[in-house]
Amino acid sequence: MRILVVTLRYPPYVAGGYELLTRDAVLELRARGHEVCVLAGRGTRFEENERVLPWLEPALPEDEDGGDLFELSRSGSNAQRFRMHFLSPANLTASRRAIAAFQPDIVFGFNLGLVSLAPLLAARLAGVKTLLYASDPWLANHWLREWKESPHHAAKAVRLEVLQRFWSSFRDLIDVGEVLTCSEYIRGVLASSGIDPASLSVAHLGVPPEMERLASEVDPPVREPGEALRVVCLSSFWDGKGQAYLLEGVAAARRSGAEVELVLAGAGGGGYLDALRRRAAEPDLAGAVRFEKPMDRAGVSALLASSHVFCLPSIWGEPFALSTLEAMAHGLAVVASEDGGTPEAFHDGREGVLVPARSGEAIAGALERLLADEPMRRRLGVAAQARARSELSHGSFVDRLEAALRRQVPSDAP
């Protein structure tokens, strides 16, 4: 099967795990005999053997921290936002050019959040099959969602309503076709935005293959008697990730006499990270919290292997966190908030513990239970690892993608 994958960012242009996941899927599809070409954003650092067509707008930042492409959307003019989220003439031209050059059997849109629906329209005009993957609510239009959630949206409510109606009509006219989502949560968000639920199906993400390999080289962690419970959180630093509640949970547990240590690792900074550092320096947390900068996958694996519990206290509607899967692959018990799609990664009480979002007290209770009952913590971790190696493996994820691709191009036999 000849597959044209469309995504804005693609390694080495990486903002998080999503771009690495996309490349991992591309490599696995190629290993299974498919011919895959990638249409991505304009950039100069792609490797020639990656078969990337760097033709899409907006151009990718060349600085090492990856830049914030969404800031272009927030600060741009309405005309710029329309091109990013509705239809970009430049990307329509680029997509038609890529389709003509590669002659794909199917166009696979992995993330068109700032690319617009131009690649989908180009495929329709060329009579080429399509498949879309949503690991966030981009098909519900990020611009309009942020506008609606803004405290100032009432001042331009009529304009917003007109744009929402136009978006729904435009999206229906183009016909999004079959859409895979990373979680039931994202499926629900897209269905509530007006997409036919019958066209939406879930294909949960899988553990990245390099993390699978690294995790296979270590045993699930064992906490010795009297040893502190080591908790790790791998997540970018912004308030939606909920690290402030995790700090309060660890502080509450320590005030109750529980020996708990915490490592917070991730990208980002600014005022939120400064506030976390100030809180961690207060007497009830002093010496118990360590901050780490972003690290490569080997570093992440080493950090997970030296920890006992992984905690993800998100409060923003996390689609389906890859870091949770990576922790499960390493045999860590998981504590996560009942937020977004992450709870779908494990069963409460079987592979981890679910806690209410925005509750440091609930996090403290979960950590205290895991500290007091080492056999339970180990049992959860072993079960989490087994699930990560089966239903949530990288191979299982690509199986789900490949099955959907074959539904669209059933006669192909590579």
Average pLDDT rounded to a whole number, residues 264-270: 91
Which range has the top average pLDDT, 72-76, 80-84, 345-349? 345-349
Same domain for 384 and 341?
yes
User: Comparing C-alpha atoms, which of 189, 183, 188 is closest to residue 133?
Assistant: 183
Do the domain assignments include residue 414?
Answer: no
Same domain for 230 and 130?
no
CATH label of the domain that carries residue 79: 3.40.50.2000
Query: How far separated are the first and last CA of the chain, in Å rounded?
Result: 6
Same domain for 275 and 157?
no
Same domain for 273 and 306?
yes
Q: What is the pLDDT of residues 85-127, one digit of tens each?
A: 999 999 999 999 999 999 999 999 998 989 999 999 999 999 9
Same domain for 152 and 254?
no
Better pLDDT: 149 or 141: 141
User: Do 100 and 123 contact (CB within 8 A), yes or no?
Assistant: no
Determine phi and psi for 180, rounding to 5 degrees.
Answer: -95, 140
| pLDDT higher than 60, residue 270 | yes
Per DSSP, the residues of 248-302 read HHHHHHHHTT--EEEEEE-S--HHHHHHHHHHHTSTTTTTTEEEE----HHHHHH
Do the domain assignments include residue 102?
Answer: yes
Strand order in the sheet with 333-337: 289-292, 260-265, 229-234, 309-312, 333-337, 352-355
| pLDDT higher than 50, residue 413 | no
How high is the mean pLDDT of the chain? 94
Average pLDDT rounded to a whole number, residues 227-247: 97
Same domain for 316 and 366?
yes
Residue 357 belongs to domain spanning: 209-388
Do the domain assignments include residue 294?
Answer: yes
Same domain for 200 and 252?
no
Q: Please, what is the Cα angle at 46 between 45 and 50, to 5 degrees?
A: 165
* Residue 315 to residues 192, 245, 353, 359, Cα–Cα distance (Å): 20, 9, 16, 10
Q: What is the pLDDT of residues 160-178, one digit of tens each?
A: 899 999 999 999 999 999 9
Same domain for 213 and 118?
no
Q: What is the pLDDT of residues 40-54, one digit of tens each?
A: 999 999 988 789 999
Helix H or strand E segment including 149: helix 142-149
Do the domain assignments include residue 32?
Answer: yes
Token pair listed for 197? 């639920």
Same domain for 256 and 309?
yes
Distance of CA 341 to the CA centre of its chain: 10
Helix H or strand E segment including 7: strand 2-7
How much is the pLDDT for 64? 55
Same domain for 56 and 38?
yes
Of the listed ranges 18-22, 67-71, 144-148, 358-362, the one predicted with least confidence: 67-71
Do the domain assignments include residue 66?
Answer: yes
| pLDDT higher than 70, residue 180 | yes
Other CB atoms within 10 A of residue 172 CB: 12
Q: Tokens 């914030």, residue?
A: 68
Q: How many domains in the chain?
A: 2
